[in-house]
Structure formats: C-alpha cells, structure tokens
Amino acid sequence: MAVKTTGIFCRPGCPARTPKMINVVFFENASLALSAGYRPCKRCHPTKLPGEASSLVRQLINLVEDHPERKWQEQDLVKIGIDPSTARRHFKQRFGMTFSTYVRQRNLGRAQKHLNKGESVINAQLSAGFESPSGFRAAYAKTFGAPPKHKGGAPLYVAWMDTPVGPMITICSDSQIYLAEFTVRKNLEGQFKKLSKTYQRPILPGQTQITHLAENQIQDYFAGHLKSFDLPIATTGTPFQDQVWSVLQTIPYGESWSYSKLAKTIGNEKAVRAVASSNARNGLAIIIPCHRVISKDGGLGGYAGGLTRKQWLLDHEARFS
C-alpha cells in the first residue's frame, strides 16, 4: 500500500496513521512499489519477510553458536554495545523466551550430546558454560527429568525459519522431523508438550541434519522448485489420523480436494467431520499438505495457519504447477 503524498509504501495494517484512500495506490508486491519510486516504511518494514528475525536476533544466535563454551550474561551484551532489555524483547517476540533462557537451553542440549558420546559429566558441564557442578546438575535435572548421566534420552531440537508467509518452527531429532508449523498456530505450546510427553524427550533449541534438510526443502518449496517433500517424518496421531495424513500426501501439487472426496478416498464417505478434524491436527504443515483440502462448494474451509495463508499456498502452487 503506497501513499502518493508521502512517497512511502507500507504493509496493509501498518500502525502508522491511516492515509486518505484518494492518496493510496496498491501494488502486488514490494518490488513493484520500489520500482514505482516509493520507499519502504520504517515502522512496518514491508520489504522484509513477515515476522522475519531481526538482525539483532541473528547476531546473538551467531554469537551463541560461535562461542558454545560461553555463558552469556547481560554485562557481556553491554560490552558489545547491545542493550539487554532490547535483546530480551526481540527474543521473546521471536522465540517466546528470553535470550538468557535460549542460551541456557541451547547449552544444555549440547551437554546432552557430549554425554551421549560417552564424555564425562564435567566435560558436559563445561561445554554448557556452567561453573558450578551443582548448578549444572540442577538445571539438567529440571530440563531432562533426571541427573546428568551417560547416554540419556536425546532431546528433540526446535528451530525457527522465515518464509514468505511468516515464521515457521520445526522440531527434529537426528533422524526424523516431528513438527513443522507456522508460529501463528493456536496451541503450539500444547503440541510441544504432547510431543515431549509422547516420546519422553525434552525439546530444546538447536538443529540437526534433518533440520537443515527440512529447511532446505521448505525453502525450495517456497521458491517454486520443489513439489513434493522427501523427509523422514514422525507423526503422533491415532490410526485414523495417520490414515488421513497418508492420503493427504497423495494429493497432487497444484490440485485441491474436497473434504468429502478425502473421506471417500479413505473408504468412509460419512467421516467428513472426522477428516476435517484430522486435517486440523496435522502437525507437519506443507509437508503433509492439508492446505489442499477445501470445502465442497469451493470455499477454503478451515486452516490452522489462517485462511489468508491457505489461499496464498494454493495460489503459489497454481502459479508453479
């Protein structure tokens, strides 16, 4: 949305003062607005991806990854010119946790990997940035439910990525992907708790080879280069839900089915509501393409990630099919 009197373009819904509609011009995307000579708004940042991680968040994550042995404190941030309260706010917006909590959870995940390799508890403690053995044991037991020991239950790792329609979260182990969701989904915390309880594994910030594989494929999907996913998935549904999710993966890219057609395909044409409920409980957005199921009358039906996002996905696939 560009404003002729100011020469600025914004996202719809920008918190800046609403202009008179006579002065407004709409563009399909930011690139066209830039080409027309408008400059991006400094409040809503329309050239960035929706919900994109700030440069501060990326900077701090790089610091954590480049210095895994360090236990970052607020005074450390001040020394490098970062306001701790700003860092705390940015991390809460992005991850739902403070920077210090992120560092602690990330380091505990590293400690668990050291223990699983057969290393000593003291080495795991130092790798997690804990000076006190008692402090390390207490933090570890709170996270993993037991004192540190060799070859304990490996955690699942949660990572965040940006997409053209908003941030996504993935949860992966070293061998499978368990969840891929848009962060706007309701009850995301409930899904975390269900996964952790079902598999008896804590969920910590971090990445695995499967995380990187999933992110690469998701990025290829949004670029229009990938039409079907090849990922080792793990689901936590009932037998009926697993059946529905399996059939969902057979819906061709660029096509859409009705809920009733999906019900008939699984052999129970009366199970339309149960099919819709199973769709809503799919925890692998895009990978298991529940967005390709719409109402019989051509309406969008429902979508846990939001109907605007569902329409975008269908239009995206139609454009590249």
Does the annotation count 14 as an active-site position? no
Provide the CA 103 distance to its chain's centre, in angstroms: 18
Does the annotation count 10 as an active-site position? yes
178 with 195: CB under 8 angstroms? yes
Q: Is residue 169 helix, strand or coil? A: strand
Compute and round to an integer the Cα radius of gyration of the chain: 23
Tokens representing 179 are 């969840």
Ramachandran bin of 8, using left for φ above 0, alpha for ψ from -120 to 50, beta for the remaining angles: beta
Q: How far apart are the first and last CA of the chain?
A: 29
Tokens representing 318 are 């139609």
Q: Which residue has the tokens 């409930």?
A: 190
Q: Is residue 153 helix, strand or coil? A: coil
Catalytic residue among 10, 14, 41, 172: 10
Catalytic residue among 14, 41, 44, 290: 290
Catalytic machinery residues = 10, 290
